[in-house]
Amino acid sequence: MNARRALSVAIAVLLLAPVARSGHELPVYPSYYPHEIEIAAMAPEQAAELMRAGKLHAYVGSAPTFAAAPGDTIGTAESLGAFVVVRLNPESAHAKDDASACAAAGAIVRDMAGRAGSSGLLLHPYPVTPFHGDYLVHADRAEAARQKILGGGPAALPGSLKVRVGSALARNLVRQDWLSDGAWDAAVEEVSAAGLVADATVALNGWLGPRWARSGWFHAYRLLGGSTSDAARNQEIDSSVARLQTVDYASNVERLNLERDLVGLLVSGCRTMIAGYTVKREYFNAEFSAGIENISFDALEGFGTPMFLRTVKLKDFPWNGWLQLGLDARPVAAWNPIGGFTDAFGRLMWFAIADPAAIPSPYEATWTLNRVSEVEASPKR
């Protein structure tokens, strides 16, 4: 009797159940997120060897050193590398007034422009670049700044000019008779774009921010703020920054004009001048079975972003699997979510284990939801 009743219930359930069709795999994967992520600090030479052997999926932060051309099985992702900045020595005679400061800094940048193509520098004497999500707001002014440098002609400098360099790129950009390891009138430096973003970003209790950390105007402020000795101009700059951070504007039009005016104030001086930027290329294994695909990366930070870890998919697994990453910097910061995870290794590890509600959007200055949300179509379908 009990067996007959159980059979009747089973038949009733089958009659009420909807028709289901099966295939070889799910039409939508629940997640591409690997169930194990290994992050190892290693030299560029070791990264290239492991990537060719199919034992490393991506190298985060810089380019591995390949003995020969990487080939079709190695893919690349390009992001903003570094700003190249010319800073005048406040004690130099060339920085005694605005006219001489602009003549000196302009001459250095103009001379560097002739070496830009072979060195990797993209001449762009404006702090908001095409890699920034809000570049279109500044595109006309960026082009005007570029034309001003190119059309200025050679500048006559009083006496010899001594330039200090801080990297191999800077040394290749500056003419030999200007180079100095001692006293200096100007310094040519590289400022990492990813570092600039990371230093301004706070990760706390599932929150990444602040919201302006990815904006071009804020990077301009980080690069050029405080470079002028004009008290009135500094006060106006600080007031504009405060308005943008506290949403003290009536409309988006007012906000965009405020951002343009702020950057205009920042580039109006010459004691610190942006010469241009470099492009960072990060490499990943694209081989059919041992590689990765569905890769999303950030225009400002490359692979060092939550978006990369949330989207990358291993080719030999429908989902999950073992993701192996190399990093060009050893861990040096404390490992805790309050005052630590401030170096490249710690941030990447925190991105792997944390679960923020919103993460940086790949190609914008804004943020995107970390997980799927139900959005109602308008009009309803």
297: how many CB neighbours lie within 10 A of its CB? 23
For the chain, what are the domain ranges? 28-79+281-368
Cα 292 from Cα 294, distance rounded (Å): 7
Give start and end residues of each alpha helix (H) in the chain: 2-16, 44-52, 98-113, 116-119, 139-150, 168-173, 193-200, 216-224, 231-245, 252-266, 306-311, 344-353
The pLDDT score that the predictor gives to residue 32 is: 63
3-state helix, strand, coil in the chain (%, to 5): 35, 20, 45
β-strands 163-165, 313-314 pairing = unpaired
Give DSSP secondary structure letters for 272-293.
EEEEEEEEEEEEEE--TTTSEE
Q: Measured between alpha carbons, how far is residue 189 from residues 169, 182, 262, 309 in Å? A: 9, 16, 23, 31
The pLDDT score that the predictor gives to residue 159 is: 60
Phi, psi of 282 (to 5 degrees): -110, 145
The alpha carbons of the chain give a radius of gyration, in whole angstroms, of 26
Over the chain (381 residues), the average pLDDT of each successive run of 10 is: 45 41 45 81 92 93 82 91 96 90 92 86 96 95 94 62 93 92 95 90 78 94 89 94 96 96 95 96 92 90 89 80 90 76 86 83 81 64 59
Bridge partners, 87 (sequence order): 187, 272
The pLDDT score that the predictor gives to residue 40 is: 94
327 with 316: CB under 8 angstroms? no
* Burial status of residue 87 (CB atoms within 10 A of its CB: 0-12, 13-18, 19 or more): middle
Cα 268 from Cα 227, distance rounded (Å): 10
The pLDDT score that the predictor gives to residue 8 is: 43
Q: Which residue pairs, CB below 8 angstroms and at least 24 apart, start in 34-37?
A: 34/312, 34/314, 34/320, 34/321, 34/322, 34/323, 35/320, 35/321, 35/322, 36/321, 36/322, 36/323, 37/309, 37/322, 37/323, 37/325, 37/352
The pLDDT score that the predictor gives to residue 12 is: 42
Give the chain's length.
381
